[in-house]
Amino acid sequence: MGLIATAPVQAGIAVAVLLTLGRPILFRQRRPGRDGEIFGLLKFRTMRHPETEHDTDEQRLTSIGKLLRASSLDELPSLWNVLRGDMSLVGPRPLLVEYLDLYTHEQARRHEVRPGITGLAQVRGRNELDWQDKFDLDVDYVDRRCLLLDLTILLQTVHTVAMRRGISRSGYATVPVFSGREGDDDGER
């Protein structure tokens, strides 16, 4: 139903991305899902292709990309991942594959459930949270998940997106790279 309801908006965004960034319109990236199984996450593209190997995400992020991220409209294609069963509407956000070997046993518990388009960490601070706080909230969700919690998170997501909270951590396009060490802000994604 979400795909049908958002089809006109997604079509308009696709045209805007095509006109401003060209092809491809969608960004596909391998991400770990439930039990660490890898799937292809879909999002609208928000960045230019890198011109040099030293281009940062912040340099590549376009004005339309900033708007799509601020409104979370770049996430709409992820509804296809929900339809396919790779993701759920609510759950820990799927992070990068290269992080899998860096998690502690407790942090890796986030993979006991399907990843979500939104989650507890997204409504409690999103990208403003440090990594350990995100992981703590992800595991808290795994331990407490139920329909009422999912509905609460979905309602809070609407408020968080409308208020444009937590879009990025200060000084980063989104967040620093997770290195497995607390407080290590050596890169960005």
> Residue 167: its pLDDT value, please?
66
- Using the predicted structure, report yes or no on whether residue 98 has a pLDDT greater than 50: yes
Distance of CA 28 to the CA centre of its chain: 12
What percentage of the chain reaches a pLDDT higher than 70? 90
d(CA 184, CA 27): 27
d(CA 146, CA 31): 24
Structure token pair of residue 114 = 């399907």
Mean pLDDT within 50-61: 78
The pTM of the full predicted model, rounded to 2 decimals, is 0.82
> Residue 172: its pLDDT value, please?
65
pLDDT category of residue 52 using cuts at 50, 70 and 90: confident
Long-range CB contact pairs, 142-145, < 8 A, 24+: 142/92, 142/109, 142/110, 142/112, 142/113, 145/90, 145/91, 145/113
Cβ proximity of 28 and 41 under 8 Å? yes
Convert the pLDDT of each residue in 25-51 to its tens digit.
999 999 999 999 999 999 999 988 877
Mean pLDDT within 63-89: 92
Q: How far is CA 183 from CA 79, 80, 121, in A?
A: 33, 34, 18
